[in-house]
Structure 1
């Protein structure tokens, strides 16, 4: 009960912030426009098998189905949890990280969808308004499915992934699952020049700090993770 109250309070605070910043009516909506997307950028990630794998696949497919309905027109904002909604509804239990601990929880696994959306947005040069990395790095280089620093954790009401279409033409995320791989395309009505990403990591005490730069040495993001003694 108290947890649900805190979530509602957080959402109300976000509503007031969006109203003050004039972003309230900039969020993408389901589009039925007959647009022709002639260009694309694409990447893919392996979906690692682990406990709750079938539920994770279900969650990934449901999240992808929701996202695929939306088009980002110029100036519009993609909000992951506005599109996905509260994962307590319709999603299944799978592995996730809560308070630095790996647990089974409803909606587990959908952070791989938010992460791949974030990664392709960096490559395309879309404007990142909000993104949060995971608190810990649970993987080794052998088990990692995406470069460290390109993850995007989602906590409904608290942490969102928000991306603005800063181009003068519409774009659209299109996600599908094929043979245990997660595929994403950023579709566009005009050509987008892909950015090359450069990663630099360093140990700082008990933390791993990862910086991502573009080819002009512009810092795109910085992520900090607690080191784990035992990885998966």
Structure 2
């Protein structure tokens, strides 16, 4: 089943089919937002909760071969706008954090610029609000180090660039497309959690904070990382993501998180420099 879905990514779909499909899933999301049973977080605090649970940061500008650098600088503008919509959001017990419900649709009228986007066929180009996946990637990665539960997340369908100074397991991000590819996080604890996100001169920084210190620590890692060939001549990159849960320094659980099967857009064996 998983391989059939991957191979279908290589099929060309008409512009009409793509447009109608996008409209259908967009409308379906609106129905769920406004008529579903979920209670979505909406309260932004003007102060920080006292205890830092986890923090992480990622560089704003990367050296990417074949990518117009202007798209990266535009991405920084896009991230400034998006982070202003979620910075300080408080997720109370029983509430759901919805990435797109809080940020809203990125449009030029709101100040968003053309940034780097990944097309369905695995190529990249320019699109309004491009680059916001860096924020969803950051939030997802941080959430894996908390007791919060990710209830909706989508992996990237293509692996575009070879690893360069990778510090996280492959496939530990979360792609986002307004509004049907959403990142949603449920607070099943009895404590409030707060998301802090902001930009420095060269980094996107994130924090999860709470009203009490956490008694748990988490180690996210990968298993079964391998590359497989396909009947159509391409390659698929595969792995599984797990996390070890420690309570007061003692290992208490080893949890399966997700798995990735992604089309590679480069040769798996690159010549050495």
TM-score, normalisation: structure 1:
0.87
Say if 1:7 and 1:156, in contact at 8 Å, map to a contact too.
Answer: no
Shift of 1:35: 7.0
Instruction: Give the root-mean-square deviation of aligned CA atoms.
Output: 2.6
Matched, 1:199 2:222: yes
Counterpart residue number, 1:208: 237
Counterpart residue number, 2:178: 156
* Selected match of 2:29 from 6, 14, 18: 14
Q: Secondary structure at the match of 1:29?
A: coil
Counterpart residue number, 1:228: 265
Distance 1:165 1:203 in 2: 35
Shift of 1:19: 6.9
Shift of 1:34: 6.4
Q: Greater relative contact order: 1 or 2 (C-alpha under 8 angstroms, separation 6 or more)? A: 1
- Deviations, residues 132-189 of structure 1 (Å, cap 9, x unaligned): 1111112222264754212111111321111111221111110112231111110111
Shift of 1:47: 2.2
Larger Rg: 2
Q: How does 1:34-73 map to 2 (within 5 A)?
A: 36-49=49-62, 50-73=69-92
Distance 1:188 1:101 in 2: 40
Q: Secondary structure at the match of 2:254?
A: coil
Which blocks of at least 5 consecutive residues in structure 2 are unaligned? 1-15, 63-68, 230-234, 245-252, 269-273
Counterpart residue number, 1:105: 127
Q: Secondary structure at the match of 1:61?
A: helix
Matched, 1:31 2:31: no
Which blocks of at least 5 consecutive residues in structure 1 are unaligned? none
Shift of 1:15: 4.1
Distance 1:101 1:143, change over 3 A: farther
Number of aligned residues? 229
